[in-house]
Chain A
Amino acid sequence: MDLIYVFQESLRGFKYSRWMSLASVIIIAINLLIIGGFLYVSINTNQIIRKIKEKVEIEVFVKDDSSQLKVAALQDTLLNISGVRDVQYFTKAMAWEEFKQIHGEEMLEAVEENPFPASFRLKLESASQNELEVQRIVTIIEHQDGIEEIKYGKQLLPLLDRFSRIYYTAFGVVSILISLIAVFIVSNTIKLTVFARQEIIRLMKLSGARDLYIRLPFILEGMIQGLLGATCAVMVLWVVIEKLKGSIAGFFIFPPQIMVVLFIFGFILGGCGSWVSLQKFLKL
């Protein structure tokens, strides 16, 4: 196969149906803009959920009469529970200090003895930052000796879990839907450019061209349109995000992966669009 020919034919295609090609590029750009915007919001929301979840910790209060040896043993046990990433020990004095810092010294003026128990604060691995896992870890801890009380975000966790479940399902469904709509619209737009050139397709078929030979220039053309569309979409998205920066708290990340995803998606979208729209014209 003569690759120079394939490339020349693709460029000829652009020249031949200039306005339709432009329409294709614009439609691809709009589709990618929607997908990119959606990805951007998703990645940022995901980041926020992760940050909240990272704050989920289990606080294990130790009985006042526990010996140092016992405390050390307990720390080892806690560290060895699967799903626990880090265990920090807070002595009674540290708890006192912390309270003082948060609520001020006046609150403690009437208190003579340090009333705060020592505690362990457990950070969890990301895979264990959900209600079920936390429940499992808490049950294990409850069976240990020398524990006064266990505290964790009982209300927050199920709420977060439910939110992420709904969110990820919606993300999946909407992504698939947008992609399908995009392929449909793009293939229909490209169909118009193919339609304008059915004469050459027919001539090539009657001259004994194999399907792939006819297809390749169109597919390459679709891919170039996809890349141009992606370039427009990335530029617009970047400008919009730069403008929005700071106006929505927490929304600031523009991961370079979005650009890569959009370019790859544009490439595939253009290619698939051409492939799908050529099907009809090759039946002869």
Chain B
Amino acid sequence: MIKFNHVTKSFDGVRSVLNDVNFFVERGEFVFLIGHTGAGKTTLFKHIYMEEFPTQGQVIVAGYNSNTIRKKEIPYLRRKIGIVFQDFKLLKDRNVFENVALTLQVADNRKKNIKKRVFHLLSEMGLSHQRNEFPQTLSGGEQQRVSIARALAADPYILLADEPTGNLDLAVAFDILELLKQVNAGGTTILMATHNPELIKNAHSRILEIKQGTIIR
């Protein structure tokens, strides 16, 4: 599903942010990506949704190869990937329903289908009764649920979670992790970046560790 093949990324030609990165994530896997701030986790994610391209090597995601993908194919790759951010990135001028619907709108879905899918997701996330509320009135955990619902709206193959619990307290963080595990059980491949050791302790999932741009585990 995701394959990094000798990927090196350098922005200035001198210092490498990613250094000969090799790994493979199978379909349906749940993988943790751990490492300190600045280790290269976000840059690695950007290579997956092809906002960045390798200086050397290649990235293959859902059948798309970073060396051969055409610019107009990138939107279609991204529709197969859901992204969850640490700071949720919810739009403050839209309510919960509209925030979740955004992903489906941009993929040219029909209005009727959008409504059906969003209602279904909100009920799964336990957010049905908050669908008309605006993000700033929700708690951190609720906001992250909305952002997960948005990431899942287009039914992606892969869910990238970039420090999804970074802004939440531990109890809520475990709730979110549990939610992501349920999503994974439904068949979605998940790559989750975190630097919280508590979360990975009993997770029984594969761990990739990145340090100064190099995968060390």
Q: Indicate if the CB atoms of A207 and B79 lie closer than 8 Å.
A: yes
Which residues on the B side are within 8 Å of A1 (C-beta)? 108
- Complex-state Cα separation, A284 to B46, whole angstroms: 10
Which residues on the A side are within 8 Å of B51 (C-beta)? 206, 284
Measured as residues with beta carbon below 8 angstroms from the partner, the interface class of chain A is 10 to 19
Q: Indicate if the CB atoms of A2 and B49 lie closer than 8 Å.
A: no
In this assembly, does A199 line the interface, its C-beta being within 8 Å of a C-beta of chain B? yes
A to B contact number (C-beta, < 8 Å):
48
A209 nearest CB neighbor, chain B only = B106
Q: Indicate if the CB atoms of A207 and B154 lie closer than 8 Å.
A: yes
In this assembly, does A213 line the interface, its C-beta being within 8 Å of a C-beta of chain B? yes
Enumerate 5 A-B pairs (CB-CB under 8 Å) in ascending A order: A12-B93, A206-B78, A207-B102, A208-B106, A284-B51
Which residues on the B side are within 8 Å of A207 (C-beta)? 78-79, 102-103, 106-107, 154
Query: Which of A's residues lie within 8 Å of B, judged by CB?
Result: 1-2, 5, 12, 15-16, 199-200, 203-210, 213-214, 284
Which residues on the A side are within 8 Å of B111 (C-beta)? 2
Min CB distance B197 to A, Å, is: 28
Q: Indicate if the CB atoms of B89 and A208 lie closer than 8 Å.
A: no
Contacts A204-B106, A208-B75, A214-B106 known; 12 new A-B pairs at CB < 8 A: A2-B111, A5-B105, A203-B91, A207-B78, A207-B79, A207-B154, A208-B79, A208-B103, A208-B154, A209-B75, A209-B107, A210-B75
Q: Indicate if the CB atoms of B89 and A203 lie closer than 8 Å.
A: yes
The 9 closest A-B pairs by CB, nearest first: A209-B106, A208-B79, A208-B78, A208-B75, A207-B103, A207-B106, A210-B75, A204-B106, A284-B51
Which residues on the B side are within 8 Å of A199 (C-beta)? 89, 91
Candidate in B75, B77, B93 with the most chain A CB atoms within 10 angstroms: B75
**In the complex, chain B residues 59-88 whose Cβ is within 8 Å of any chain A Cβ:** 72, 75-79, 83
